[in-house]
A and B are shown apart, each in its own frame.
Chain A
């Protein structure tokens, strides 16, 4: 369809906008865009081709594997480029669990996970149970959403093949003790996968320090392009390619590789590795000021997730007797972009399962709001939020009372 705009006086979009949803996605760094550009233009070759066009692309792809590997403390051969973070989680869990079960000659097999995982992990684990017959244990979490490594120890069975525990929670920002969990898993011959999608822009991610066998990333969460995921797979990890086709990415993820995307991902990861130390400190202070400001100005609000052991720019709040999605819209109308932090939708008044798993009462859990800061977030952005938020919360609460 083709639309013409001139028939109407369009209200100006000159309103100031503030983006505070960096856990959803980040703007691409100019460095990443610049690195990609040649591979969207002149160097268009298929990295699998033998001719000179192919070699140009293959060289760039090799370098991207190498750079991403270095950034994660891994070898280039252990890096697989995929289509997104969700795909990386899918490939990791399905591929490793099925292969390990076969290798160990188990009939059912057992998977351990947590109740606060991203849908990409949660839905895959459920499918492993329903379709592939694995037993699944979901670990308990504490009020911050954290898994106690001792709980992992208690959950491990002789037939446990895989555990999947995320590094940093997307909804409440809490960090898990993946390193300790990984040590335990290794001791018991259990593979550990971690969804680290939220982490690399704000904290170091080293596969050896974390003791993980599989790790998923998504480029657009760290100022890289959308449509590119990374799967780290430790050499020697049993793996069944659940996507079948050609020999791309050493047969582990068939399909013509998105060379430009891989190059952009590598450039972005290099950038964040350089910037994240200073940014983390700056964002932590900014977030603390923001959370203090909100708590001072708004009644009946709480921070969810761990107060300190969390992503530096991540604040997740719950407002009593507030519909989170309505609050999100009220803020957006004022030019402030945040999220509810969960797939919970209004009109479907089911509170976030993650918040419920953390023991947050229902009348609070419906009012979740996630405010996530990024490299470009300024003091003025936080001022703008603090300026608008109290009025929005009040209006949302008043409207609910009036229409009761």
Chain B
């Protein structure tokens, strides 16, 4: 009988290597593909050519060595142009609109589950796997249902469901909220049922040479994580100096360009406040129209509502009525409870029970019901309301 074929997105790192090894061990017909993504030319701290983790020759060599070790075919496929066009350019463009964008959403939607999925299907794959810490539950697989999900009237049964990874600290479901049914039905996240330490342990068990590799944190296309320098080089006009003003309208300083700031930021404002009752100032808002940075005291920060212009649901359809659930406004933010209200125009409003400090235009608002990702979207800058 023909074995089930799975294409694994490999990066040379621990997680995707273990994902590939687990699938081989489970008897799948595994094919590894590494995408060469666009990265800025540059030098690392040692003056060597940019050793970006996605694209460095060392990473390709690691991935190829692992594929050889596992006895699977391996291809490195150039995707620089499509990555720049679908991920990097929109990311730079979003800064120009005075938001704080997350490029991983577009990457997962257009590159991994677009460009790469197309190649996986062309290779006759039944599934595509990545090293993400997340889980997919298929309709047939009636594992103990995550708390709360099955009792909720708004959700259809029979859907493929996206769950958080078992490792709470590593959970990457936030950046995968862009996936829909046609993606989830073909997705596999073999690491999702493990915690990171177990994945490293598996890497050792499989004798994978990347077992001890350090975690990479920065955006993959930046040189040394310097997004400011990157933006100025890519699009100098995005960073025009302008006024720093209080909510009341008083100009109290100058900023170096809105992209260099994000909501909730305190450090780096460079303001000398001469009033006696001086208190720390925080960024409340980036005002693109006036190129102004609005600042205020900690108690002025935060909003109870977040608006999403285009809300995506993993079930492909919106819950028919408002849903009590939790939401995260940044990758590393804490989930907070509230009510998700789908809007007739395809957008959504989320009303938190308590004000949230970091609701930031450009970042994702992702909703959860227990471990299950309901969906999400990019917070809009149009109607982020100040604290009520």
Seen from chain A, the residues whose Cβ lies within 8 Å of a Cβ on chain B are: 1, 3-5, 7-13, 323, 325-327, 329-330, 332-333, 345-349, 392, 395-396, 398-400, 402-403
Contact = CB atoms under 8 A, between A and B. Distances in A.
Contacts of A345: 77-78
B145 interface: no
A347 B123 contact: no
A8 B73 contact: no
Residue of A10, A329, A392 most packed against chain B (CB within 10 A):
A329
Contacts of B209: 1, 3
A400 B71 CA distance: 28
Contacts, number: 98
Contacts of B124: 330, 333, 392, 395
Interface of B: 5, 21, 24-25, 29-31, 33, 35-36, 65, 68-73, 75, 77-83, 114-115, 117-124, 205-207, 209
A330 B24 contact: no
A347 B122 contact: no
B169 to A, nearest CB: 27
Residue of B80, B81, B120 most packed against chain A (CB within 10 A):
B81
Nearest to A12: B71
A15 to B, nearest CB: 10
Nearest to A327: B122
24 contacts: A1-B65, A1-B209, A4-B207, A9-B25, A10-B24, A10-B70, A10-B71, A11-B24, A326-B118, A326-B123, A329-B75, A329-B77, A333-B123, A333-B124, A345-B78, A346-B78, A346-B119, A347-B35, A347-B115, A349-B81, A398-B121, A399-B121, A402-B118, A403-B117
Contact of B69 (A5, A333, A396): A5
B206 A347 contact: no
Residue of A11, A323, A400 most packed against chain B (CB within 10 A):
A11
A12 B70 CA distance: 10
A46 B207 CA distance: 43
Contact of B81 (A12, A323, A347): A347
A11 B70 CA distance: 8
Contacts of B123: 326, 329-330, 333, 395
Residue of A1, A9, A332, A403 most packed against chain B (CB within 10 A):
A403
A326 B73 CA distance: 14
A395 B81 CA distance: 24
A158 B49 CA distance: 46
B72 A395 contact: no
B128 to A, nearest CB: 11
A9 B79 contact: no
Nearest to A344: B78
Contact of B80 (A326, A347, A396): A347
A123 B17 CA distance: 38
B119 A7 contact: no
B112 to A, nearest CB: 12
A8 B21 contact: yes
Nearest to A393: B122
Given A8-B206, A332-B73, A326 B24 contact: no
Contacts of B122: 323, 326-327, 329-330, 392, 395-396, 399-400
Given A11-B29, A403-B114, A348 B69 contact: no
B16 to A, nearest CB: 16
Nearest to A347: B79
A327 B75 CA distance: 12
A4 B118 CA distance: 33
A399 B79 CA distance: 17
B81 A8 contact: no
